[in-house]
Amino acid sequence: MSAVTLYSPEKYLELETSATFKSEYHDGKLIPMTGGSTNHNQIIINLIAFLKFSLKGKGYRQFAGDVKLWIPEVRRYTYPDLMIVRGEPLYHDGRTDTIENPTIIIEVLSKSAQDYDHGDKFSAYRTIDTFQEYVLVNQYKQQVEHYVKTAEKRWSFREYNAIEQQLFLEKAPFEISLADLYNEVDFTLVEQVRYAPSTKA
**pLDDT reported for residue 195:** 41
Give me the mean pLDDT over the 63-81 stretch: 94
More confident of the two residues 115 and 161: 161
Mean pLDDT of the residues in the chain: 89
Q: How far is CA 170 from CA 18, 49, 73, 119, 143, in A?
A: 38, 19, 26, 22, 18
Dihedral pair phi/psi, residue 150, rounded to 5°: -110, -25
Bridge-based pairing state of the strands 133-138 and 104-109: parallel
**pLDDT reported for residue 191:** 55
Instruction: Note the pLDDT tens digit of each residue in 107-132.
Output: 998 887 677 778 789 999 999 999 99
Handedness of CA 115, 118, 119, 125 (dihedral sign): positive
**pLDDT reported for residue 18:** 84
pLDDT of residue 94 exceeding 70, the answer is yes
Give me the mean pLDDT over the 83-93 stretch: 96
**pLDDT reported for residue 200:** 40
More confident of the two residues 20 and 155: 155
Query: In 3-state terms, what secondary structure has residue 48?
Result: helix
Query: Distance between CA atoms of 124 and 97, rounded to whole angstroms?
Result: 20
pLDDT of residue 72 exceeding 70, the answer is yes
CB 52 within 8 Å of CB 35: no
pLDDT of residue 160 exceeding 80, the answer is yes
Query: In 3-state terms, what secondary structure has residue 49?
Result: helix
| All structural domains of the chain | 37-67+80-89+101-181 (3.90.1570.10)
pLDDT of residue 61 exceeding 70, the answer is yes
**pLDDT reported for residue 164:** 93
Find the angle CA(119)-CA(33)-CA(27) to the nearest 5 degrees: 65
Give me the mean pLDDT over the 34-44 stretch: 88
Instruction: Count other Cβ atoms within 10 Å, centred on residue 84.
Output: 23
CB 171 within 8 Å of CB 103: yes
